[in-house]
Structure 1
């Protein structure tokens, strides 16, 4: 697991494949809270009840924090299966 202490609000969260997963709202404990406006809405298969509210991703999926991006160790599609509501 990467050092997550540098994760900041408005950083882009991307999968290992470079696909946008969400935008950081804040870190709460061992989870990244994604902003509501794109909280999984762009991930294939995320629809209906997945839209319009915050989602969370475990910091255990973070591979690297660099610049304004949080890169996950899973692809965006795989990360979607780990998203918590």
Structure 2
């Protein structure tokens, strides 16, 4: 399980293929991240479930490729 306390606003969210898919806006409830719409290609907010997170260091790293993540948000 991901330690949500390590996730901070403005962290890059990186897919498993190395592609940046967005920037953390904030945690939305206990189980998902809301991505900033300013970094979204379509100008919309998107949500990433915490179950998609592989690990958190200086960035949030997902266990999904960018294609899979975008298909699921």
For the criterion TM > 0.5, the same-fold answer is: yes
What CA distance in whole angstroms lies between the structure 2 residues aligned with 1:3 and 1:76?
Answer: 22
Deviation at 1:74, TM superposition (A): 0.5
Q: Greater Rg, structure 1 or structure 2?
A: 1
**Is residue 37 of structure 1 aligned with residue 27 of structure 2?**
no
State how 1:1-80 maps to structure 2 within 5 Å. Answer: 1-29=1-29, 30-39=31-40, 41=41, 51-67=42-58, 69-80=59-70
Compute the displacement of 1:76 (Å): 0.9
RMSD: 1.1
Q: TM-score, normalised by structure 2?
A: 0.90
Instruction: Work out the CA distance in 2 between the residues paired with 1:35 and 1:70.
Output: 14
Q: Secondary structure at the match of 2:67?
A: helix
- What TM-score do the two structures reach when normalised by structure 1? 0.78
Structure 1: segments with no counterpart, 5+ residues = 42-50
Per-residue deviation, 1:52: 1.9
How many residue pairs match? The answer is 72
